[in-house]
Amino acid sequence: MRVFEKVDQKVSFPELEVQLMEQWKAEGAFQKSLDLREGRPRFVFYEGPPTANGKPATHHILARAFKDLFGRYKTMQGFYVERKAGWDTHGLPVEIEVEKKLKISGKFQIENEIGVERFNELCRQSVYEYVEDWVAFSQRMGFWLDYDNAYWTLTSEYIQSVWWALSEMWKQNLVYKGFRVAPYCSRCATPLSSHELSLGYRDNVPDPSVYIRFRLKNDPKTSILAWTTTPWTLPGNVALAVDNDIVYIKVKEGDEYLILAEARLTVLKEPPQVVERMMGRDLVGLEYEPLYPYSVPEEGKAHYVVDADFVSTEEGTGVVHTSALYGVDDLRLCQEKRIPFKHTVGLDGKFLPYVEKFAGLHVKDADPVIIDDLKERGLLYKAETILHTYPFCWRCGTPLIYYALDAWYIRTTERKEQLLANNNATHWVPDHIRTGRMGDWLENNVDWQFSRSRYWGTPVPIWICEGCDEQRIVSS
């Protein structure tokens, strides 16, 4: 008498999987797993939603398998585990996908060739198309979620929940508009958050490393030597920064004199002939000839040496070229010293028309042109190429720049201690994430810049009176 049926050696496991899923569906297995535990302690599961900007791929299987594993494990322990699907249907990734379909690039083409209303409708159509693929993919791999009652970030209900959360933070004075330097993508024409910045770093990126002469007004034979890896910021230079307590020297090279930190003598091309030593405070107030006449409004004093707390002798010359609108420390310093400034670069990353020598050039394309111009005028001391770590847009791959503009922020720094305490009380797997990646991020967190200069997303519900600047937030 045969007890077991013979096993077919040519079994198709994909077919078996499909049969099993059909059985689950016929029996309502997922819903039964919930019904049987109704009234039991709850284990809260949040489906951090995938972005519906493309078809799912094999690398998505791992993350979704882990999510499914925890839901099933906690269910087996007797918890009631509601598992609602979610779809991230807003944001830059969706917009870039639609731009590719339209064969355009950037918001300027969106506005001038497509129109914002039509573009947003195409974004809506695109995410619906991809969500269908995601549902089929997730179900096929056996991921148990409530797909019929999923949340979508594009719905009015979801947007209202975001507005409500913002309004609650507004009541606590945690939301504000600030003019700050932020990581900025010139192709996408939007600032990025510090978290997004961390997603796009690349190693061994080549960039120019240039040493520039800034000639003193009262002594053209003497120059202060400064270093930068962003020559495109030089037309926007408004000051040179030194440290009061660093020792600087004046050296003779040929028929000229150079001033730099004593600790940075190794950057010189020739063995130095030191003629004078001085402290940084002795240099403060010295005026120099501007490299270009573009960076300062008609009124106001600029192009002189100031003291700053961020100057070091670890690299460069111990003198920091300061371009107010293209560096975080630069802007803070110029605001403290009341040094006037104005943009030389537009939101498209190209030099503005009044910057005549470089008008219309993208900043990265302008680097070699600016270097050549300074060389012709005898202001380039030395030019090299370095390999370093540099941030790129995590979505489109464009090199980021630092750019000052108005944006909306949440004061996450005001809740830093609470965030750190919550992190320490969290059970992390693997454990090193607590003090490593997550802990480091929270320890060094900056206020969250949450607004984006784009179209397909949750509107910022803040209204400002043009007459008196009164601000109001809409919560629903």
DSSP string, 428-439: -SSGGGTTTHHH
Average pLDDT over residues 119-145: 96
The verdict on domain 13-154 having CATH code 3.40.50.620 is yes
DSSP string, 58-101: THHHHHHHHHHHHHHHHHHTT-B---EEEEB--SHHHHHHHHHH
Q: Which residues pair with 182 in a beta bridge?
A: 403
Q: How confident is the model at residue 7 (pLDDT cuts 50, 70, 90)?
A: confident
How many percent of the chain have pLDDT more than 70? 100
HEC secondary structure over 128-183? HHHHHHHHHHHHHCCCCCEEEEEEECCCHHHHHHHHHHHHHHHHCCCEEEEEEEEE
Q: Which residues pair with 408 in a beta bridge?
A: 177
Per-residue model confidence as pLDDT tens digits over 322-355: 999 999 999 999 999 999 999 999 999 999 999 9
In 3-state terms, what secondary structure has residue 351?
Answer: strand
Whole-number Å distance between alpha carbons of 258 and 274? 10
* pLDDT value for 122: 98
Per-residue model confidence as pLDDT tens digits over 362-398: 999 999 999 999 999 999 999 999 999 999 999 899 9
In 3-state terms, what secondary structure has residue 325?
Answer: helix
Beta strand extents in 280-357 (DSSP E only): 304-307, 320-322
Which amino acid makes up residue 254? G
Q: Which helix (H) or strand (E) holds 390?
A: strand 380-391
Dihedral of the alpha carbons of 329, 333, 339, 344, in degrees to the nearest 10: 0
Mean of the per-residue pLDDT values for the chain?
95
If you search the block for the tokens 């040519």, which residue do you land on?
Answer: 10
For residue 107, pLDDT over 90 is answered with no
Residues 6 or more apart in contact with residue 126 via CB below 8 angstroms: 52, 53, 94, 97, 98, 101
Q: How confident is the model at residue 296 (pLDDT cuts 50, 70, 90)?
A: confident
**Residue 215 Cα distances to 72, 222, 287, 378, 449, angstroms:** 71, 6, 9, 10, 39
CA nearest 232: which of 184, 160, 280, 269?
184
Q: Which helix (H) or strand (E) holds 257?
A: strand 256-261
Whole-number Å distance between alpha carbons of 201 and 389? 6
Whole-number Å distance between alpha carbons of 296 and 356? 15
Whole-number Å distance between alpha carbons of 450 and 457? 11
The pair of structure tokens assigned to 412 is 């996450």
Q: How confident is the model at residue 170 (pLDDT cuts 50, 70, 90)?
A: very high
Cis peptide before 353 (omega within 30 of 0): no
Average pLDDT over residues 143-169: 97
Per-residue model confidence as pLDDT tens digits over 387-431: 999 999 998 999 999 999 999 999 999 999 999 999 999 999 999
Per-residue model confidence as pLDDT tens digits over 242-265: 999 999 999 999 999 999 999 999
Beta strand extents in 300-371 (DSSP E only): 304-307, 320-322
Whole-number Å distance between alpha carbons of 468 and 476? 24
* pLDDT value for 53: 93
- Torsions phi, psi of 309, nearest 5? -90, 0
Average pLDDT over residues 269-283: 94
Whole-number Å distance between alpha carbons of 269 and 271? 7
Whole-number Å distance between alpha carbons of 288 and 401? 27
Per-residue model confidence as pLDDT tens digits over 43-58: 999 998 999 999 999 9
CATH number of 202-391: 3.90.740.10
CA nearest 231: which of 116, 351, 340, 149?
351
Whole-number Å distance between alpha carbons of 202 and 216? 38
Whole-number Å distance between alpha carbons of 47 and 135? 13
Q: Which residues pair with 472 in a beta bridge?
A: 463
* pLDDT value for 2: 64
Angle of the 13-27 helix axis to the 116-140 helix axis, nearest 10: 100
For residue 1, pLDDT over 60 is answered with no
CA nearest 295: which of 375, 335, 355, 350?
355
Q: Which residues pair with 165 in a beta bridge?
A: none
Strands 320-322 and 239-242: antiparallel
Domain boundaries, the chain: 13-154, 170-201+398-473, 202-391
Selected from 2.60.40, 1.10.3470, 2.60.120, 2.170.220, the CATH number assigned to the domain covering 170-201+398-473 reads 2.170.220
